[in-house]
């Protein structure tokens, strides 16, 4: 099964960290991605830019509405994701627990709708 | 003769319900479909056994019929190409199962029901339903909620097991202690609810206490032989 691991964390917290800690954080993410690849579990991953750069789009009666900002304002926002292949939820949970995002934020695990 | 067959069917239902559900649902994780197929198999047993006599191995008979029902239901539900490999697997196993002993995966089923991804308050009702075959009405009366509400929550939990990919497995050594306590908590909760009628005036509730004791013995009996996990 495929699962999407979504990392929710406080935006801006990263920029307040000292440079050395940021470096460690990046190294942790690199190692995590490497571990996923090595296990053959990595399907895709990306870090997202802050919601300051987000644009929300909707179409009502054929009219496109474009708004500055994220879909929902909240302190913790989606900051990145990993799309992984896992045998079952327990395996996905153990990958989520190893994700550095679980330590500085929260990781939501969602099964991908299979066709 | 008719009474005998009915008696056999009821005895098998009580002894084997969870075992058959666990086995039928282990691959697909579709507990609801396994329960439907099994209840159809029990209905067939009640109409056939009085005429033909109860089979030598009632459990294997029920399993074979339930699996055919499962395949039929799966064919009806999805006609897409994705269904084929799964049907193939079930069909292959069907041939193999006629003679073999059905492995007891009830403990794995209990771990799925008491998984941390399942809402805590529904874990005990879920175990009572899928392992013992109690209906939503009986469970609802013990947990002081309406049958409709209880039924809805049970359906929702089974859907989560299937769609979120909650495994039917006894967890590994590392996770076993915490996951085991979730199972035991659920059994304990069921036991407490069973005692909400201490005078024993309500037949359905009085019966539940016995059922939960059976469940507790079963869990102990099936537990892996690792004393450190039981601390």
Residues whose CB is less than 8 angstroms from the CB of residue B94 and which lie 6 or more positions away in sequence, other chains included: B64, B67, B68, B71
- Interface contact flag, B165 A93, Cβ < 8 Å: no
Nearest to B166 among A86, A89, A114 (CB): A89
Cβ pair B117:A93 closer than 8 A: yes
Q: Which domain range does residue B82 map to?
A: 2-97
DSSP state of B152: H
- Across chain A, which distance is largest between two alpha carbons, in Å? 51
Q: What is the pLDDT of residue B203?
A: 55
Chain A residues whose C-beta sits inside 8 Å of any chain B C-beta: 1, 3, 86-90, 92-93, 111, 114-115
Task: Give B41 to chain A, closest Cα distance, Å.
Answer: 29
Question: Residues B113, B221: one domain?
Answer: yes
User: Does one domain contain both B30 and B124?
Assistant: no
Mean pLDDT, residues A75-83 taken together: 96
Q: How many domains does chain B have?
A: 2
CATH number of A2-111: 3.30.70.1060
- Average confidence score pLDDT of chain A: 95
Nearest CA in chain A to B29: A88
Q: Which of A88, A94, A107 to mutate against chain B (most B CBs within 10 Å)?
A: A88
The sign of the dihedral angle between the CA atoms of B6, B11, B14, B17 is negative
Query: What value of ipTM does the predicted structure carry?
Result: 0.84
What is the reported pLDDT for B228? 46
B113 near A CB under 8 A: no
Mean pLDDT in runs of 10 for chain B (231 residues)? Answer: 72 84 90 94 91 88 92 77 59 56 86 94 92 87 89 96 93 86 85 62 62 82 61 40
pLDDT tens digits, A9-27 = 999 888 899 999 999 999 9
Residues B124 and B153 in one domain: yes
8 A C-beta contact, residue A96 and residue A8: no
Which of B57, B77, B97 terminates a domain? The answer is B97
B85 contacts chain A (CB < 8 A)? no
Taking an 8 Å cut-off on Cβ atoms, the answer to whether A115 and B117 are in contact is no
Whether residues B124 and B185 fall in one domain: yes
pLDDT at B138: 84
Measure CB to CB from residue A1 to each of B82, B165, B169 and give the nearest one: B165
Q: How far apart are CA A8 and CA A17, in angstroms?
A: 17
Domain boundary among B71, B97, B123: B97
- Contact between A80 and A101 under an 8 Å Cβ cutoff? The reply is yes
Residue B200 shares a structural domain with residue B86: no
What does the H/E/C string look like for chain A?
CEEEEEEEEECCHHHHCCHHHHHHHHHHHHHHHHHHHHCCCEEEEEECCCHHHCEEEEEECCEEEEEECCCCCCCEEEEEEEEEECCCHHHHHHHHHHCCHHHHCEEEEEECCCC
B166 and B184 inside one domain: yes
Report pLDDT for B94: 57
Residues B81 and B116 in one domain: no
Helix ranges (DSSP H) in A4-73: 13-16, 19-38
β-pair partners for A6: A81, A108
Strands A76-85, A2-10: pairing kind? antiparallel
Instruction: Check: CB of residue B191 under 8 Å from CB of residue B216.
Output: yes
Domain boundary among B41, B62, B97: B97
Q: Do B165 and A115 touch (CB under 8 A)?
A: no
Regarding whether B209 and B122 lie in a shared domain, the answer is yes
Decide if B18 touches A, using CB distance below 8 A: no
Same structural domain, B118 and B186: yes
How confident is the model over A35-43, as a mean pLDDT? Answer: 98
pLDDT at B160: 96
Residues B69 and B147 in one domain: no
Q: Give contacts of B 51-80 with A, CB under 8 A.
A: none
B117 to chain A, closest Cα gap in Å: 9
Q: Are residues B72 and B122 in the same domain?
A: no
Give pLDDT, residue B129: 92
Q: Residue with structure tokens 């991804």?
A: B117
Token pair in block for residue B50: 């009085």
pLDDT > 70 in chain A, percent = 100
Contact A111 B117 (CB under 8 A): no
């Amino acid at each position: 099964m495929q699962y999407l691991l979504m990392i929710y964390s406080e935006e801006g917290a990263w920029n307040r960290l000292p440079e050395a800690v940021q470096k460690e954080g990046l190294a942790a993410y690199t190692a995590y991605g490497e571990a996923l690849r090595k296990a053959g579990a990595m399907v895709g991953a990306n870090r997202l830019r802050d919601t300051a750069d987000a644009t929300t789009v909707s179409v009502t009666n054929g009219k496109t509405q474009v708004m500055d900002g994220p879909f929902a304002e909240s302190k913790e926002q989606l900051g990145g994701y990993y799309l992984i292949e896992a045998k079952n939820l327990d395996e996905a949970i153990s990958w989520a627990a190893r994700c550095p995002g679980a330590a500085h934020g929260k990781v939501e695990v969602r099964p991908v709708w299979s066709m | 003769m008719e009474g005998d067959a009915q008696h056999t069917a009821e005895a098998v239902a009580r002894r084997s319900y969870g075992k058959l559900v666990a086995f039928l649902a282990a691959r697909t994780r579709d507990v609801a479909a396994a329960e439907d197929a099994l209840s159809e198999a029990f209905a067939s047993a009640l109409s056939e056994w009085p005429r033909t006599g109860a089979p030598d191995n009632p459990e294997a008979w029920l399993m074979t019929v339930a699996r055919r029902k499962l395949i039929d239901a799966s064919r009806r539900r999805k006609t897409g190409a994705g269904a084929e490999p799964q049907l193939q697997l079930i069909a292959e196993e069907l041939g193999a199962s006629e003679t073999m002993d059905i492995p007891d995966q009830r403990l794995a089923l209990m771990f799925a029901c008491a998984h941390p991804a399942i809402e805590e308050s529904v874990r005990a009702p879920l175990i009572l339903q899928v392992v013992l075959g109690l209906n939503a009405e009986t469970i609802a009366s013990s947990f002081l909620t309406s049958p409709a509400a209880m039924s809805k929550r049970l359906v929702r939990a089974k859907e989560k097991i299937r769609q979120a990919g909650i495994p039917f497995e006894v967890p590994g050594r590392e996770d076993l202690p915490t996951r085991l306590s979730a199972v035991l908590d659920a059994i304990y909760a069921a036991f407490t609810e069973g005692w909400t009628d201490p005078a024993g005036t309500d037949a359905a509730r009085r019966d539940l206490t016995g059922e939960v004791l059976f469940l507790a013995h079963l869990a102990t009996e099936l537990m892996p032989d690792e004393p450190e996990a039981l601390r």
